[in-house]
Amino acid sequence: MKTIAKLRFIKILALLTGLCGLVSCQDDELCEESTASRLRMGFYLPVVTSGNPTPYTVDSLTVYGVGRPDSLIYDNRKNVRSIEVPLNPTANRTGFVFFFPENITDTLWVDYQTELNFISAECGFAMFFDIEQVGHTNNRISFFQINQNLVTNSLEEHIKILLYPDPDL
Amino acid sequence: MKNISKYFFILILTYSLSAKAQQESDTLSFRPTLSLGYDMSGLVLYLLEPEVFMHGALLGYEWRPNWFATLEAGNMSIGVERETHSYEASGVFFRAGLNYNLLQGNPRMKGEEIFLLFRYGFGRLNHEAPRLIINDPYWGSVEGAFEKAPYTAHWAEIGGGLKTRLFWHIYLGWDLRLRLILARQPGSEMNPYYISGFGKNKGNSAVMLHYFVYYKFPFGK
């Protein structure tokens, strides 16, 4: 008799566990997810330490999008280790102009495919970008590595920008 | 020494014959069972996310002891209407596979199951965005619409769960499944919010909890 009662208890407990699990999947009604997809790039020197390029801090940096010189994304920002810039959602190519110290300028182009994503009822839509190709001038930028092709609303670094060593060093 | 070998041989022979007889008796007493289930997780999802309707049904056939061939089918519809955006989707899905009951040979738990499951899934949907805004403070906000487009996906799933008798021939059970996308055929540049039968479209995997109510047809009783 005791065994049957025990079995029933275990059965009910097991079913309730399932139901609680189902209810715990609840989504909040507020938009708690970012709909901004930013291209994240870090600066490095092409000196490999333990298999990776060495992170580098740029003394000062100004960045704007090609065609928008009046609207600076970074305005003489000091000690910049990494940046995040917006890709144009209505185009398949966006360029950025970089002003490094000593009046050295570079332009970096990113070619991509766009992917429209419905984030949630409250957040609406966000555009994700699938990087296909990157090109740049070679004044301070030496080369680049693509870490992650898909630019979403997550915080991953997508591109490593490798710089020529500082001329003052 | 000869005698010991003889007795040992007789013992093994007796045990083998008795095991074979038991196996034959189990096979002879086995009657196939058929069960029909409704997936209540769609109702719970509706309570949590009223824009998403998902219905699913299951047909299970125990064709040999503890092995169930299972076919699942259902549909999904999504309708989101906000001031800044709207999104609509409708689709169907099919899943086919096997359940294996681990509670074999326990007479006290007859008809009840703790099972492992394997499935292949296929989902097809059409979706559209009649009105949308992409906010971009630097390049400017984009307003527009996305025309109706198809989307299909194939996936595999593994999982486990349990089923227990509630009363009469009615059973309740839940299972937890891990799904892995095998292939997708997007018909446009818009990714679906949910893939019918798969769940939320966030990457190539999804974990879903299903809660079923079953009617087990009383065959062979």
pLDDT in tens, B128-145: 999 988 888 899 888 889
Q: Which residues of A touch B49 (CB under 8 A)?
A: 27, 121
Asked whether residue B18 carries a pLDDT value surpassing 80, the answer given is: no
Per-residue pLDDT at B183 exceeds 90: yes
Chain segment A36-54, per-residue pLDDT in tens: 889 999 999 887 777 778 8
DSSP calls for B75-93: EEEEEEE-SS-EEEEEEEE
- In this predicted structure, what is the pLDDT of residue B113? 82
pLDDT surpassing 90 at residue A73: yes
Give Cβ neighbours of residue B148 (< 8 Å, ≥ 6 apart). Answer: B126, B127, B128
Find the residue in B nearest to A4 (Cα).
Answer: B108
What is the C-alpha R_g of chain B?
25
pLDDT top residue among B5 and A59: A59
**pLDDT band at residue B14 using 50, 70 and 90 as cut-offs:** very low
Handedness of CA A71, A73, A75, A76 (dihedral sign): negative
**Chain B residues within 8 A of A71 when measuring between CB atoms:** 138
Question: Is residue A7's pLDDT more than 70?
Answer: no
Cα A14–Cα A20–Cα A24 angle in degrees, nearest 5: 145
What kind and span of H or E run contains B47? Answer: helix B41-48
Per-residue pLDDT of B57-91, as tens digits, reads 999 998 888 889 999 999 999 999 988 899 999 99
Q: Which residues pair with B185 in a beta bridge?
A: B152
pLDDT, residue A131, reads: 95
- Is A79 exposed, middle or buried (CB count within 10 Å of its CB: 0-12, 13-18, 19+)? exposed
Q: Taking 60 as the threshold, does the pLDDT of residue A23 lie above it?
A: no
- pLDDT score of B13 more than 50: no
Q: Which of residues 88-107 of A touch B (CB under 8 A)?
A: 88-90
State yes or no: pLDDT of B184 exceeds 80: yes
For chain A, the 3-state helix, strand and coil shares in percent, each to the nearest 5, are 15, 55, 35
Residues of chain B found within 8 Å of residue A128, distances taken between Cβ atoms: 191
**What average pLDDT score do residues A164-168 get?**
71
Best mean pLDDT range from A1-5, A9-13, B107-111:
B107-111
Domain B31-217 part of CATH 1.10.3720.10: no
Q: Which range is least confidently modeled, A16-25, A160-169, B109-118?
A: A16-25
- The alpha carbon of residue A118 is apart from the nearest alpha carbon of chain B, in Å, by 5
